[in-house]
Chains A and B, each alone.
Chain A
Amino acid sequence: GQNIDQPTEMTATEGAIVQINCTYQTSGFNGLFWYQQHAGEAPTFLSYNVLDGLEEKGRFSSFLSRSKGYSYLLLKELQMKDSASYLCAVGPNNAGNMLTFGGGTRLMVKP
């Protein structure tokens, strides 16, 4: 089966750094995705990790440890527009080419 856990909510201050964790237990693994979703909008792709280590992309970085079933998304120099939900997704699983999504972490950035 598939099980993905992320914190439900986080709050951080503008200009700070925040780390959003994701742990997973899946029957198959071929990569971990992070998506950003603003309220009422579609998710947009942020990052993809398939090998262990850190992937950096501007203010956003994503880390993966396959042996620990663990990933995090790191957001630096937080801006008010970063207030959104961040979705962790793992896939594809052994049952087919599907992503399994976690419940999402709602990040609130305060001035």
Chain B
Amino acid sequence: DGGITQSPKYLFRKEGQNVTLSCEQNLNHDAMYWYRQDPGQGLRLIYYSQIVNDFQKGDIAEGYSVSREKKESFPLTVTSAQKNPTAFYLCASSILLGEQFFGPGTRLTVL
């Protein structure tokens, strides 16, 4: 089955710790994206990547980092520099200029 997976579904971390969220896709999509969603809000773009070994900052990149070493994988690290990291994180992928397919999301809670 082709799809996009994120793990874990729920994640708890102590304040000041870095945490990495996983995103994997087997749809052979070139582009991958990370969004943040706060309660009752829309999606805000954190980072995106159109090709392996290249990525661009989105609207709210501060306090986050990414890597794109493989086409299938686009992990997101939430660093201690992110002031308010508790949120729902969504990963998506697409062909270039195509509709985006979303993973199930990771709900991060920082205690």
Q: Which of B21-69 contact A (CB under 8 A)?
A: 31, 33, 35, 40-45, 48, 50, 56, 58
The total of chain A residues at the interface (CB under 8 A) is: 22
The total of chain B residues at the interface (CB under 8 A) is: 26
B103 at the interface (CB under 8 A from A): yes
A110 to B71, CA, bound (A): 44
A51 to B88, CA, bound (A): 33
Q: Which of A40-67 contact B (CB under 8 A)?
A: 40-45, 48
Q: Distance in Å from the Cβ of B44 to the closest Cβ of chain A?
A: 8
Which of A42, A45, A97 is close to B50, meaning CB atoms less than 8 Å apart?
A97
Cross-chain pairs A/B with CB under 8 angstroms, 20 sampled = A42-B90, A42-B102, A42-B104, A42-B105, A43-B90, A87-B42, A97-B96, A97-B97, A98-B45, A98-B48, A98-B58, A99-B45, A99-B100, A100-B45, A101-B35, A101-B42, A101-B44, A103-B41, A104-B41, A106-B40
